[in-house]
Amino acid sequence: MPAKTRLVMAIASSALFDLKESDAVFRRQGLEAYRNYQIAHEKDVLEPGAGFALVKKLLQLNDVENVEIEVILLSRNSADTGLRVFNAIEEYELDIRRAAFTGGAPPYRYMLPFGAHLFLSANPIDVVDALDNGFAAASLMANQVSSTSTPMVKFAFDGDAVVFSDSAERIYQQDGLAAFTAQEKAAADIPLPPGPFAGFLSRLHAIQQQFNGGSCPIQTALVTARSAPTHERVIKTLRNWGIRLDESLFLGGMDKTEFLAAYGADIFFDDQAEHCHLASRVVVSGHVPHGVKNPR
158 is catalytic: yes
- Is residue 2 reached through a cis peptide bond, with omega within 30 degrees of 0 on the bond before it? no
Instruction: From 94, 16, 80, select the one nearest 42 (Cα to Cα).
Output: 80
* Dihedral angle, C-alpha 37, 40, 45, 51, nearest 10 °: 30
Helix axes 31-40, 20-29, angle to 10 degrees: 140
> d(Cα 182, Cα 38) in Å, to the nearest integer?
56
> d(Cα 187, Cα 22) in Å, to the nearest integer?
51
* Dihedral angle, C-alpha 149, 222, 219, 268, nearest 10 °: -40
Secondary structure (3-state) at 68: strand
The catalytically annotated residue of 126, 129, 158, 270 is 158
- Residue 240: other Cβ atoms inside 10 A: 12
Strand locations in the chain (E): 5-11, 67-75, 99-101, 118-121, 137-140, 153-157, 218-224, 247-250, 267-270, 284-287
Whether residue 161 contacts residue 197, with contact meaning beta carbons closer than 8 Å, is answered with no
Show which residues are catalytic: 158
